[in-house]
Structure 1
Amino acid sequence: MEQQFWQTTILDFFIALGVVLGGVALGGLGAFLTNDYPTERMLRLAEQLKIWAMVAALGGTFDTIRAIEVNVLGGQLGQAGQQLAFIVSSFIGAHIGVLFIRWFFQGEI
């Protein structure tokens, strides 16, 4: 059971990170092809994709929020804590993706 928790936590982190980095890379390619400024577009896309990266990593936020509600009302706080850990893990993954893009293009975090 504990192994599955860590697997899910790590997967959520990397899925969110991958959604941000992949979306920014392909968005930058699209900006280049449409004669837009790729750097500016990629920086904006990184911020805009952050919440969607979390949603993708969690498989839909309503399921996670519903699981927290059911577990808290059912007195299973450990299960609710696990769901919160999944949310935090996906947020950290998405945020690190944004920080990486900022660092790469602006040289600052």
Structure 2
Amino acid sequence: MTFMVTIILDLFVAFGVLVGGCLIGGLGAFLIGEPPFVIMESLADKIKIWAVVAAIGGTMDTLSAIERGFLSGAHGEIIKHVLFICSAFIGAHLGTIVIKWFVGSELL
């Protein structure tokens, strides 16, 4: 895959994992009699890091690529993987904003 394709996929996968997890978690909360919006807002904060990990395909590949970049002096490889991680963080954060908007919470 090309660089831009991976950036876009990381962003949307993190966004989808967070939004989907919160929506399904809210459904589960409704089924057990808990307030769904409260649970959804709590889940948005709790699963943000897991959305990033899912988007980049596990941390070990990325960390080993960054290590190889440091050891071989390939700074471009380091920057590329840091941008992949940043893209996933942006997607997860956008997902959190959407969930907080959906439940009527403060956005910041």
TM, length-normalised to structure 1: 0.94
C-alpha distance after superposition, 1:59-100 (max 9, x if no partner): 101110111011121010001100000000000000110011
What residue in structure 1 maps to residue 46 of structure 2? 48
Equivalent-residue separation in structure 1 for 2:8 and 2:84 (angstroms): 9
What residue in structure 2 maps to residue 32 of structure 1? 30
Q: Could you tell me which amino acid in structure 1 is paired with residue 41 of structure 2?
A: L
What residue in structure 1 maps to residue 95 of structure 2? 97
Give the CA deviation at 1:108.
3.2
The equivalences for 1:8-87 within 5 A come to 8-87=6-85
Detail structure 1 runs of 4+ shifted over 2 Å in the superposition: none
Secondary structure of the equivalent of 1:108?
A: coil
Give the CA deviation at 1:103.
1.5
TM, length-normalised to structure 2: 0.95
Equivalent-residue separation in structure 1 for 2:50 and 2:79 (angstroms): 22
Aligned-residue identity in percent: 50
Q: Could you tell me which amino acid in structure 1 is paired with residue 16 of structure 2?
A: G
Equivalenced residues, count: 107
Residue ranges of structure 2 left out of the alignment (5+ in a row): none
Residue ranges of structure 1 left out of the alignment (5+ in a row): none
What is the RMSD of the two structures over their aligned residues, measured on CA atoms? 1.1
